[in-house]
Homo-oligomer: A and B are copies of this chain.
Amino acid sequence: MRYCSNCATRVELRVPQGDTLPRYVCPACSVIHYQNPKIVVGCIPEWEDKILLCRRAIEPRHGLWTVPSGFMENAETLGQGAERETLEEANARVQMGNLYAIYSLPHINQVHVLFRARLLDLDFKPGLESLDVRLFSEEEIPWDKLAFRVIREPLKRYFEERRQGKLGFHMGTIEEIRQ
């Protein structure tokens, strides 16, 4: 952020009075431009013993597989966001189920919210942001071709819990891997 989106003056980075963190502040109109984490919503669409994954047609991780998910939009609920993303990326209709996992990703300022969902029919096909959309049984999951750790971790847990017959909500943190 370099300019005030309200009046186009060059912003300053400073701690406003009564605050504890540096913010972009406009010296002309005094607007404080807060920056906050974004929410990514998605779901695990289930059909019998299989789940639906999308192969990404966009960066990052072009060509790798993920569950339908994306940035939550203004004016929608978490469940509506996950439903919309599933329609956009897989042209798939789902009935949203229980919340399955929430991960904080503090190094990239995101919170990922993942539901379980029931796929309502098999008339899915890739949306604009997908190269391919397919159903996978546990044995078929392309574990080495999954796009993100925030997908791999809950999916590992999902199949493990499913084998044990107890699917429960989990909250976690995905930290940056320093190499």
Chain A, interface size category, equals 35 or more
Chain B residues, CB < 8 A from A72:
36-37, 111
Question: How many angstroms from the CA of A169 to the CA of B77 in the assembled complex?
Answer: 17
Question: How many angstroms from the CA of A157 to the CA of B73 in the assembled complex?
Answer: 28
Please determine whether B99 and A78 come into contact, CB atoms closer than 8 angstroms: no
Chain B residues, CB < 8 A from A99:
102, 169, 171
Q: Is A95 part of the binding interface, using a Cβ–Cβ cutoff of 8 Å?
A: no
The residue on B at minimum CB distance from A169 is B169
Oligomer copy total? 2
Interface residue from B5, B71, B79, B107 paired with A1 (Cβ < 8 Å): B5
Contact mask for chain A residues 62-73; partner B; CB cutoff 8 A; 1 contact, 0 none: 000000000111
Assuming the contacts A3-B6, A4-B5, A5-B5, asked whether A35 and B128 have C-beta atoms less than 8 A apart, the reply is no
Question: How many angstroms from the CA of A33 to the CA of B2 in the assembled complex?
Answer: 13
Please determine whether A21 and B73 come into contact, CB atoms closer than 8 angstroms: yes
Please determine whether A109 and B75 come into contact, CB atoms closer than 8 angstroms: yes
Please determine whether A78 and B5 come into contact, CB atoms closer than 8 angstroms: no
Chain B residues, CB < 8 A from A5:
1-5, 11, 33
Question: How many angstroms from the CA of A155 to the CA of B8 in the assembled complex?
Answer: 43
Question: How many angstroms from the CA of A109 to the CA of B71 in the assembled complex?
Answer: 13
5 contacts between A and B (CB under 8 A): A2-B7, A3-B3, A18-B128, A72-B111, A74-B106
Residues of A within 8 A of B (CB): 1-8, 11, 18, 20-21, 33-39, 71-80, 88, 99, 102, 104, 106-107, 109, 111, 128, 169, 171, 173
